[in-house]
Structure 1
């Protein structure tokens, strides 16, 4: 797969029992690392607008395709994608570059991994910037069980867990169409349609709203998933209840400075009690949907750089 434009050439790094594809910018800024963690169904390429800006601002920018994505390893065991493995990969990445700690930035599922880094490996996290997904406090019941009670079996988190392989096959058969239909902005608000959201998107002949990226950029994502299929990345969802057990005895408070960036038109709701669990949090909201750093790259970059400049380390 060729990544378009000026995106860096990756290297393959062996760590934590897997091979991880890593893109870098600002190598001259060794000693000042920032690690960017993509979401689903994405790729390191989703940070293309942030990497050069952060490098120019003095950061060694490290962007992995996390396990299950791109040319990184795609283990077959579902449990290989639990939060211990995902955060362990990021620790291994720091070890590879000789860093004790770093600033971590995540979007969507990547934000979940970054919040979990702060809980499981707090000594390795200097600061946090997360987009779209606020901190998710551990609930009394396992997450999938709770979602099934509230949202029913067609909710895509539940469906991925209760009907393994069904959605994967539909997405695999309609890869380009699914990605074209999900990477949209300015989508008119409307009530949810019956059925499973991701399957509906994969089968929809016409997309809503406007494209988030041009055809060449979309091709990077499509070629990546045509290579891997969707099962390895969906397996992240299939570990939510396992993660619930892993986090049972962990201190739930995120103590380091954090920036939370919301899209005002995102379907993911804003947290009503974020500061209870992340006491050192600042919040920015942008007029966009879910794909924040790709929809509003200039505004996202400005918010990130301002906060990094305003926030002392330690």
Structure 2
């Protein structure tokens, strides 16, 4: 069981016109930075199992609550949450520490940001480790329009964009229940139900599967979102089509060494063409669901450390 008191105290760091709440460990390892980027609806605390292990392995571990989360800034405009701002925050974070580049690790939406960072600022990234969300190749149509066509108007990402404010309000009213219901493991497979998945989760009285974490760990996420609400974090999704435009003229291939970790029971499909866009990628799958580094922390840590060791040896 993870001991909450072991998680480091944060620092508020001004970057790129906002302040980020940053947790770090291994400051004595200056010169070997690794930046861990959380997904949605998460928090820097979702890396609690990786932070001490990576620090012990000789890394300066930097774990921001990205803009819109925790005690980091929550700008008012939706456009403040586009990929140019989210990746710009990470570049400015490197500048703050005086680093030319770093290894970046992302999970879920954090992986989307890390892929985007490697496209927009390739000289600031030396290695990429992503989980759950593979590289998303640009579709012919903007992403939300593409999803609407194939997955329907109730698909949660489409709903977030087409009906702004509706889901945010429901999640805000059911924060504890929603997070309890979404952070599960060993959820029995079932065909998708009609309706909007995130709203359904927020309203469901009985969760499926098993809890991903202890009540005290869950309380960290609940208290954070009770303070911030969900709108600022959902605004990341509301920039998907803007991101599609921003990346239109960017070289789409990522040449950096990369590691992609999938959960075999994740609802997010694996990318059949990953090597086409990320030619230097190693691919690993774990027998778990979406919350990979929290569900299988020891296995995730070993995979990351062995891969980093192999990269450093070449």
TM over 0.5: same fold? yes
Kept after mapping to 2: 8 A contact 1:126/1:313 = no
What is the CA deviation profile of residues 191-229 of structure 1, one whole-angstrom value per residue up to 9, with x for unaligned ones? 111100000000000000000000000000000000000
SS at match of 2:5: coil
- Equivalent residue for 1:116? 116
- Equivalent residue for 1:183? 183
Runs ≥4 residues deviating over 6 A: none
- Equivalent residue for 2:12? 12
- Equivalent residue for 1:148? 148
SS at match of 1:248: helix
SS at match of 1:312: helix
**What's the TM-score once normalised by structure 2's chain length?**
0.98
1:67 lines up with 2:67 in the alignment: yes
| Structure 2 CA distance for aligned equivalents of residues 311 and 283 of structure 1 | 14
- Equivalent residue for 2:107? 107
State the number of aligned residues.
Answer: 312
| Structure 2 CA distance for aligned equivalents of residues 295 and 312 of structure 1 | 27
Unaligned regions of 5+ residues in structure 1, if any?
none
| Structure 2 CA distance for aligned equivalents of residues 15 and 275 of structure 1 | 33
SS at match of 1:195: coil
Q: CA deviation at 1:17?
A: 0.4
**What's the TM-score once normalised by structure 1's chain length?**
0.98
1:194 lines up with 2:194 in the alignment: yes
| Structure 1 CA distance for aligned equivalents of residues 147 and 282 of structure 2 | 28
SS at match of 2:164: coil
Q: CA deviation at 1:76?
A: 0.8
Match runs of 1:232-311 below 5 Å? 232-311=232-311
1:133 lines up with 2:133 in the alignment: yes
Kept after mapping to 2: 8 A contact 1:154/1:196 = yes
| Structure 1 CA distance for aligned equivalents of residues 72 and 54 of structure 2 | 24
Unaligned regions of 5+ residues in structure 2, if any?
none
- Equivalent residue for 2:57? 57
Q: CA deviation at 1:313?
A: 7.8
What is the CA deviation profile of residues 65-121 of structure 1, one whole-angstrom value per residue up to 9, with x for unaligned ones? 000000000011000000000000000100000000000000000000000111000
